[in-house]
Amino acid sequence: MTTAADPFEKFKAAQREGWSSFTPVELMTTPPAGKLVKFAEIGPGQRVLDVACGTGVVAVTAAQRGAKVSGLDLTPVLLERARENASIAGVAAEFVEGDAEALPYPDASFDVVVSQFGHMFAPRPVIAVKEMLRVLKPGGRIAFSTWPPEHFTGRMFAFIARNMPPPPAGTEPPAPPPLWGDPNVIRERLGAAVKDLKFARDTLVAPALSLAHFRAAQEKTIGPLTKLVAAMQNDPDKLKQLRAEFDVLAADIFEENTIRMPFLMTRATKV
């Protein structure tokens, strides 16, 4: 039996490579990881899957609560860091390379499935949701953090998308990640497969010496932005314009040497 080729294979390969520079951002995302684990009501003995786990900040936090944790990500270098983080924390966690659209676990394997700013980058939300719910036990909880489209980070990813070359003619574009930050879209995507849907909002607060420092850090660590900046290296005027537009976009979230980025947390119970 021949398996159909994944039409997003090249896209995922670019994501795998593009996010390899994300490790320094783990310091920013560690406090929100604690908030997500608490919001997901993770406790001792629960089997937990962290989808698109990155450097494992959510997985390690859950493991420190006594959960039995597995983490999955496309990018090997981030998984290496996740294993190192677990080792430093002195907790056990399994980390494997894999795709949110094809989770390598049997049905109903986990009590809780979580994702922090990760599953939202899967190109086909319908498939990602189906997979996350498939591996979740009935009565189990799905919980995730995402960037609302109306706030800075969601607007930044929309800004990046507008400046990227369009996909080849006849190919399906990936779904915009910020849509995962819209409660109405979330309700539609989870649908009747869940009950007790709840939302909470919080803010990621990170240090930044200046707006230019923040932009420079984002350019080095945020995969799609890194790729966009690299593509403009031979066009300094266009790159200068891009950076100026970024600064305008980010101006409202910089105050007193901090960057403040609102995010949305979602929790629901599988029917």
The DSSP bridge pattern shows strands 68-73 and 136-146 to be: unpaired
- The confidence score (pLDDT) of residue 1 equals 39
Residue 211 neighbours by CB distance under 10 Å: 16
Q: How confident is the model at residue 169 (pLDDT cuts 50, 70, 90)?
A: confident
The tokens 């420190």 sit on which residue? 64
- The confidence score (pLDDT) of residue 2 equals 39
Whole-model pTM above 0.75? yes
| Residue-range domains of the chain with CATH | 9-203+262-270 (3.40.50.150)
Residue range 36-50, pLDDT digits in tens: 999 999 999 999 999
Q: Is the dihedral of CA 197, 174, 259, 29 positive or negative?
A: positive
- The confidence score (pLDDT) of residue 167 equals 75
Alpha helices, H only, 168-209: 183-190
Strands of 66-208 (E only): list them.
68-73, 93-97, 110-116, 136-146, 194-207
Residue range 209-245, pLDDT digits in tens: 999 999 999 999 999 999 999 999 999 999 999 999 9
Residue range 82-128, pLDDT digits in tens: 999 999 999 999 999 999 999 999 999 999 999 999 999 999 999 99
- The confidence score (pLDDT) of residue 73 equals 98
